[in-house]
């Protein structure tokens, strides 16, 4: 009995395995039937697929039926040469004073400070400084505005020397004229008189040069000549020792190096900076230098101020000839326009340089280029009146929101070609389902 039961059990297990195989096979067949696409049942039945209106002409050229072209709304535009400059990677820099717009104002001769000026050009003696506010650092000044007054003994003596020289010249000129008009004058006496006039003229030229070098105004020099021609001494000789220090440029005072009654001697008293144009220093890595050196001159740049989100125009002027051995960077220097004074010396800025578009690029609308992460494709329409398109694989060099730039390949897309924009993506998808060309 036990042997018979064992044989029955083996049969039942074998039958169960067969049933399991049949069940799995049936389920697979049912799923295949459920997921299969229905096929056309008659020759008169048409599919809605775009591929039904497309046919290959060559391996890269496809033609669309007029009906499909109307339904997909094909539109093409001509390819153009690049119109937008390309931007180099931005550089970091700092703002400083422009040396060409910075005036270091010195005393041309030794003397003592006796007065200062207010912003409305009122002269304040040093004894009254405690009661009146005078010009200070960060105050604006215009070209020619007075800053301070120095009394100089050397200046007084130089003006007196000019007075004496002019008086001597007038006397010797009269003597020469008298000798030239006299019948009995010898040539020797006339020559001697002429030599004195020449010596007086040379002395006046030397003194006049000294005074002008000390920036003595023309009207003060002219006043000395007037005193000499009147043959009377100056009404106030001590006034000739006054020297008004004036600003040679318009700007703001950035340094004031004199106090109440300082004695000065050819030292820098004030510094005035014109803030409408500032200096920019940028350090760039040596591998960026070839691209910069290849740019046509002048090189314009945009100076961006990240803290306020504003941009200012300027120009790169010099590319340093030395490389910093520690950082392997070169120094670029240039200017930036600051008409409203929004930039401050010492600010960090970002500098962007635009390079002319390369000659080997083409400009296309962004919608003309189809990209899937592996390749970039455009469709060229040889005749804008016919729905025939040639597929080209291209290399994108740079892209913007509305335009894309591709490398100009002589065997590919050329300037003047019409590239498909509207309908290009639908066409590319349809070709994926179209049987390959046999050409």
> Which CATH number covers residue 345?
2.40.30.170
pLDDT tens-digit series, residues 185-195: 899 999 999 99
pLDDT score at 32 = 42
User: Between the CA atoms of 16, 17, 18 and 24, what dihedral angle is there, to the nearest 10 degrees?
Assistant: 110
Residue 208 is assigned to a structural domain of this protein? yes
pLDDT score at 257 = 87
Q: Are residues 328 and 282 in the same domain?
A: yes
pLDDT score at 22 = 41
pLDDT score at 234 = 58
- Retrieve residue 104's tokens: 């270091």
| Domain boundary pick from 324, 355, 386 | 355
Q: Are residues 255 and 327 in the same domain?
A: no
Q: Are residues 122 and 252 in the same domain?
A: yes
Count of domains forming the chain: 3
pLDDT tens-digit series, residues 103-123: 999 888 888 899 999 999 999
- Phi/psi for 81 (5° steps) reads -70, 155
Q: Are residues 220 and 366 in the same domain?
A: no
- The DSSP bridge partners found for residue 86 are 355
pLDDT score at 192 = 93
Q: Are residues 112 and 261 in the same domain?
A: yes
Q: Are residues 114 and 202 in the same domain?
A: yes
Q: Are residues 171 and 215 in the same domain?
A: yes
CA 168 from centroid of its chain's CA atoms: 61
Give me the sign of the Cα torsion angle 345, 347, 348, 350: negative
Q: Are residues 370 and 389 in the same domain?
A: yes
Give me the sign of the Cα torsion angle 75, 79, 82, 87: positive
Residue 373 is assigned to a structural domain of this protein? yes
Residue 132 is assigned to a structural domain of this protein? yes
Nearest 5 degrees, angle CA 340-CA 342-CA 347? 150
By three-state DSSP, how is residue 82 classified?
coil
HSE (side-chain half, CA atoms, 13 Å) at 47: 12
pLDDT score at 130 = 77
| Domain boundary pick from 266, 297, 324 | 266
- Retrieve residue 184's tokens: 């009995």
Burial environment of residue 91 by CB neighbours within 10 A (0 to 12, 13 to 18, 19 or more): buried
| Domain boundary pick from 335, 355, 375 | 355
Q: Are residues 149 and 211 in the same domain?
A: yes
**What range does the domain containing 147 cover?**
108-266
pLDDT tens-digit series, residues 383-413: 999 999 999 999 998 888 899 999 887 768 9
> Which CATH number covers residue 426?
2.40.420.20
Whole-model pTM: value is 0.61
Q: Are residues 260 and 127 in the same domain?
A: yes
Q: Which residues of the chain have pLDDT under 50?
A: 1-5, 7-9, 11-12, 14-49
Q: Are residues 249 and 129 in the same domain?
A: yes
Q: Are residues 70 and 114 in the same domain?
A: no
Residue 10 is assigned to a structural domain of this protein? no
Taking each helix axis from N to C end, the angle separating 153-181 and 218-230, rounded to the nearest 10 degrees, works out to 50
Residue 128 is assigned to a structural domain of this protein? yes
Contacts (Cβ under 8 Å, ≥6 apart) of 411: none
pLDDT score at 238 = 72
Residue 256 is assigned to a structural domain of this protein? yes
Contacts (Cβ under 8 Å, ≥6 apart) of 312: 302, 303, 304, 305, 336, 337, 338, 342, 343
DSSP annotation of 327? T
Percent composition of the chain: helix, strand, coil (DSSP 3-state, to 5): 35, 35, 35
């Amino acid at each position: 009995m036990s042997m018979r039961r064992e044989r029955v059990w083996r049969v039942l297990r074998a039958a169960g395995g067969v049933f399991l195989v049949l069940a799995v096979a049936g389920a697979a067949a049912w799923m295949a039937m459920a997921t299969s696409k229905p096929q056309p049942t008659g020759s008169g039945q048409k599919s809605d697929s775009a591929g039904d209106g497309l046919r290959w002409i060559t391996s890269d050229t496809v033609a669309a039926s007029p009906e499909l072209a109307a339904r997909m709304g094909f539109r093409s535009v001509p390819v153009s040469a690049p119109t937008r400059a390309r931007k180099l990677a931005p550089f970091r820099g700092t703002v400083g004073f422009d040396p060409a717009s910075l005036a270091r104002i010195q005393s041309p001769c030794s003397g003592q400070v006796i007065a200062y000026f207010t912003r409305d050009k009122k002269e304040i003696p040093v004894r009254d400084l405690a009661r009146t506010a005078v010009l200070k650092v960060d105050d604006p000044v215009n070209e020619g505005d007075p800053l301070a007054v120095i009394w100089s003994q050397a200046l007084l003596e130089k003006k007196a020397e000019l007075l004496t020289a002019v008086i001597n010249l007038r006397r010797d000129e009269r003597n020469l004229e008298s000798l030239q008009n006299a019948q009995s004058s010898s040539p020797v006496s006339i020559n001697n008189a002429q030599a004195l006039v020449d010596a007086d003229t040379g002395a006046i030229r030397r003194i006049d040069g000294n005074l002008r070098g000390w920036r003595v105004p023309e009207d003060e020099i002219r006043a000395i000549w007037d005193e000499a021609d009147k043959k009377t001494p100056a009404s106030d000789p001590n006034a000739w020792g006054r020297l008004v220090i004036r600003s040679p440029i318009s700007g703001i005072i950035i340094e004031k190096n004199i106090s109440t009654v300082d004695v000065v001697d050819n030292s820098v008293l004030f510094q005035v900076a014109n803030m409408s144009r500032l200096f920019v220093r940028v350090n760039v890595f040596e591998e960026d230098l070839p691209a910069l050196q290849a740019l046509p001159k002048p090189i314009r740049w945009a100076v961006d101020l990240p803290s306020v989100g504003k941009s200012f125009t300027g120009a790169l002027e010099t590319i340093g000839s030395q490389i910093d051995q520690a950082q392997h960077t070169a120094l670029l220097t240039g200017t930036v326009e600051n008409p409203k004074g929004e930039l401050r010396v010492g600010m960090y800025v970002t500098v962007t340089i635009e390079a002319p578009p390369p000659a080997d690029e083409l400009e296309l609308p962004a919608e003309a280029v189809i990209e899937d992460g592996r390749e970039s494709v455009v469709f060229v329409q040889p005749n804008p009146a016919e729905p025939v398109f040639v597929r080209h694989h291209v290399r994108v060099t740079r892209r913007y929101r509305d335009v894309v730039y591709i490398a100009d390949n002589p065997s590919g897309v050329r300037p003047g070609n019409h590239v498909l924009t509207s309908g290009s993506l639908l066409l590319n998808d349809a070709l994926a389902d179209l049987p390959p060309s046999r050409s």
